[in-house]
A and B are shown apart, each in its own frame.
Chain A
Amino acid sequence: MPEHTPVLELSHVSVAYRTAAGPVQAVNDVSLVVMPNEIVGLVGESGSGKSTMAYAIMRLLRGNAYVSGGSIRVLGRDVYAMGRQELRKFRWRHMSMVFQSAMSALNPVITVETQLVDTLRSHLPNMSVSEAKDRAANLLELVRIDPVNLKSYPHQLSGGMRQRVVIAIAIALEPELVIMDEPTTALDVVVQRSILDRLQEIQADKRFSVLFISHDFSLVSELSSRMAIMYAGRIVEEAPASSLSSIEGHHPYTEGLLRAIPKLTADEITIKGIKGHPPDLVDLPVGCAFHPRCPRAYEPCRLFRPEILATESGRVECHLFAEKEVL
């Protein structure tokens, strides 16, 4: 795969949920590109559409959710143009996902080994069982779990170990893209740190791309090279992670998130929250969805949805920036 072909290419993707009150847009006109060997962070509050986005990329949307517009390409191939068997073979071979609820992502009645072997042999039918078992042991070692645990059932492992097993399953076929949907949210910070450190080492070695989804702003900014900030189903800003060390020059929502991070080394610790609550997706505010909570909102924000504007290093969706250009 040439270096300049994006691993993941989202263009104008919208995802809606069918409800009794009509379709509700959970993801609205999202465009995003992930290049090879790149870690991109996707941050937003609960309900901003991050997980829905992840499931849409994997074509795992269930029940009443459906992609209502745009295209999703992985390695240049349209995920939604594939046949059922084609999709089964493509998924996990080229793109995989670590679930938010890794605690419940493992089948409780079969061993860890069987679940790893299933993953391998579903895609590599020529691989013998003993080969697959050897490979399973290697994978566990890779995520720092003693292979004696191969014969364990999920309930015999701690939460952190289960999450490592899920990561091992996700990287089993060495896919080009791994989506991590809040992979460590359910774990305590010490376990979280050790898993993320290991993950970075493995990523540096295998050079797969990662779309890292989290609500933890500082965690993502530390891991990723580029970040997309999601609000009410839209990406309101995309910027290099390095630019997020300064509060100035960002979307007011991003600014708010940055101010909410406690600076533990500062003389005086000040944390400022963002007033109000995330909007109801059924009844989005007219104009910019963020305007009711925005300290700098003015007339146009209440009337028109802002255009996507290119900044020096990324893009932003805010009227304030349009004005800057005019000035």
Chain B
Amino acid sequence: MRYLLNRFLFLILSLWAAVTINFVLPRMMPGNPAGIMFAKFQGKLTPSAIKALEAAFGFNHKPMIVQYVDYVKGLLTGHWGLSFTYFPTPVTSVIGSSLPWTLGLVGLSTIISVIVGTALGILIAWRRAGLLDSILPTTLMFLQSMPAFWVAFMLVYIFGFMLSWFPMSHAYSDMLTLAPTIPVAFSVLYHAVLPGVTIFLTSLSGWMIGMRNNMINTLGDDYVVFAEAKGVPAKRLMFTYAARNAILPQVTSFAIALGNVVSGSILVEDVFSYPGIGYQLVTAVTNEDYPLIQSTFLIIAAAVLFANFLVDVLLVRLDPRVRTGGAGA
């Protein structure tokens, strides 16, 4: 329990640090968003309009510390600023409508990839030098060596353009309005197939080979040989004794992968014009949409931190040695 409290305090502290860096960095850059907006309108704005814009974007000439307090207050109360691209839509609603798509698509495909990859890793390590063990690693490594966006292009070309089996872009059919109905759900799943398969295929081998190698090391460990000697049946030996220990390093990699869910599939989302946070970030950067860029970065940082916290919680469940904080009893 003390360990978890410790991790929780660490989460809060790092979130605060992320927020602060996010506040400081843009203020170190020359110029301000209102100036850019002013340039966009090519002198058609009056000075009073600039004042109004500055106020809207939260830029003022108050002392830094006051700005900082206002900024943190704004974050906590949901006032994250207004997007330029979708002016005057608040950044929070832009993120609110794109984040679920990314979490759903990338999050789910990552989790499926982890589960399938780990299971395959256990299997091929257990039947080491068997048929699967000689085919799978090479095949999947070949897939992983191709960049995700290229695999995405190929899938779009073959299954979207040539065969027309799957839609080539967007998250659901243009003919439908987003509502929790069965046709919409079907359309969403249908549209998620190609981008999902791309992410799944290009990350699978890492999980499988990682687990295979951990598992092979563990199978040589004394406690596995000892358990085999004492007559533990094969299935229990494979899971409770070998895989249960071999999976621990996987959990740590999983933390890193979960953190990358929000940021990691920008290219795939871009290829499929998938309305996720990665696609939104690309749009924001092209349009110099500072409030949106800043908030997206904040969301990415928060995602990494939350994922790490979740994995810390998971590790406590899985490894009794972590519970005592590693110091022994």
Name A's B-contacting residues (CB within 8 A).
Answer: 58, 60, 62, 88-89, 91-93, 96-97, 99, 101, 104-110, 115, 118-119, 122-123, 153, 155-156, 166, 169, 172
Q: How far is the CB of B34 from chain A (nearest CB, A)?
A: 57
CB–CB B245/A118 < 8 A: no
Residues of A within 8 A of B244 (CB): 107, 109-110
Residues A122 and B233 in contact in the complex (CB < 8 Å), given A106-B223, A155-B329: yes
Other CB < 8 Å A-B pairs besides A106-B226, A118-B230, 12 of them? Answer: A91-B229, A91-B231, A104-B222, A104-B223, A106-B223, A109-B245, A110-B244, A118-B227, A119-B231, A122-B233, A153-B320, A153-B321
B73 within 8 A of A: no
Residues of A within 8 A of B321 (CB): 108, 153, 155
A114 nearest in chain B by CB position: B240
A172 to B320 Cα, complex, angstroms: 25
CB–CB B245/A107 < 8 A: yes
B70 within 8 A of A: no
CB–CB B232/A58 < 8 A: no
A89 to B328 Cα, complex, angstroms: 36
A170 nearest in chain B by CB position: B230
B43 within 8 A of A: no
Residues of B within 8 A of A155 (CB): 320-321, 324, 328-329
Residues of B within 8 A of A60 (CB): 225, 228-229
A101 to B226 Cα, complex, angstroms: 10
Q: How many residues of B contact A (CB 8 A)?
A: 25
- Which of B227, B229, B231 contacts A97 (CB under 8 A)? B229
CB–CB B223/A96 < 8 A: no
A108 to B324 Cα, complex, angstroms: 13
CB–CB B231/A122 < 8 A: yes
A55 nearest in chain B by CB position: B225
CB–CB A169/B230 < 8 A: yes
Name B's A-contacting residues (CB within 8 A).
Answer: 220-223, 225-233, 236, 240-241, 244-245, 318-321, 324, 328-329
Q: How far is the CB of A122 from chain B (nearest CB, A)?
A: 4
CB–CB A118/B236 < 8 A: yes
Residues of B within 8 A of A99 (CB): 222, 225-226
Q: Count A/B pairs, Cβ under 8 Å.
A: 78
Residues of B within 8 A of A166 (CB): 226
Residues of A within 8 A of B231 (CB): 88-89, 91-93, 119, 122-123
Residues of B within 8 A of A91 (CB): 229-231
Q: How far is the CB of A216 from chain B (nearest CB, A)?
A: 21
A93 to B229 Cα, complex, angstroms: 10
CB–CB A108/B320 < 8 A: yes
Residues of A within 8 A of B324 (CB): 155-156
Q: How far is the CB of B221 from chain A (nearest CB, A)?
A: 7
CB–CB B245/A96 < 8 A: no
CB–CB A92/B229 < 8 A: yes
Residues of A within 8 A of B229 (CB): 58, 60, 91-92, 96-97
B248 nearest in chain A by CB position: A109
Residues A92 and B245 in contact in the complex (CB < 8 Å), given A104-B221, A108-B223: no
B219 nearest in chain A by CB position: A62
Q: How far is the CB of A202 from chain B (nearest CB, A)?
A: 18
What are 24 A-B pairs at a CB distance below 8 A?
A: A60-B225, A60-B228, A88-B233, A91-B230, A92-B231, A99-B222, A105-B226, A106-B226, A107-B227, A107-B240, A107-B244, A107-B245, A108-B223, A108-B245, A108-B319, A109-B318, A115-B227, A119-B230, A119-B231, A122-B232, A122-B233, A155-B320, A155-B328, A155-B329
Residues of A within 8 A of B320 (CB): 108-109, 153, 155
> Could you say which of A60, A62, A109, A119 has the most chain B C-beta atoms within 10 Å of its C-beta?
A109
B326 nearest in chain A by CB position: A155
A109 to B233 Cα, complex, angstroms: 18
A110 to B245 Cα, complex, angstroms: 10
B323 nearest in chain A by CB position: A153
Q: How far is the CB of B237 from chain A (nearest CB, A)?
A: 9
CB–CB B328/A156 < 8 A: yes
CB–CB B220/A118 < 8 A: no
Residues of B within 8 A of A172 (CB): 230
Residues of B within 8 A of A96 (CB): 229-230
Residues of B within 8 A of A92 (CB): 229-231
A172 to B229 Cα, complex, angstroms: 13
A115 to B223 Cα, complex, angstroms: 10
A167 to B212 Cα, complex, angstroms: 32
Q: How far is the CB of A38 from chain B (nearest CB, A)?
A: 22
- Which of B225, B226, B245 contacts A62 (CB under 8 A)? B225
A166 nearest in chain B by CB position: B226
A117 to B117 Cα, complex, angstroms: 32
A159 to B177 Cα, complex, angstroms: 66
> Could you say which of A99, A107, A155 has the most chain B C-beta atoms within 10 Å of its C-beta?
A107
A99 to B226 Cα, complex, angstroms: 8
A155 to B323 Cα, complex, angstroms: 11
B227 nearest in chain A by CB position: A107
CB–CB B232/A118 < 8 A: yes
A119 to B220 Cα, complex, angstroms: 20
B240 nearest in chain A by CB position: A110
A123 to B229 Cα, complex, angstroms: 12
B228 nearest in chain A by CB position: A60
Q: How far is the CB of A168 from chain B (nearest CB, A)?
A: 11
A105 to B230 Cα, complex, angstroms: 11
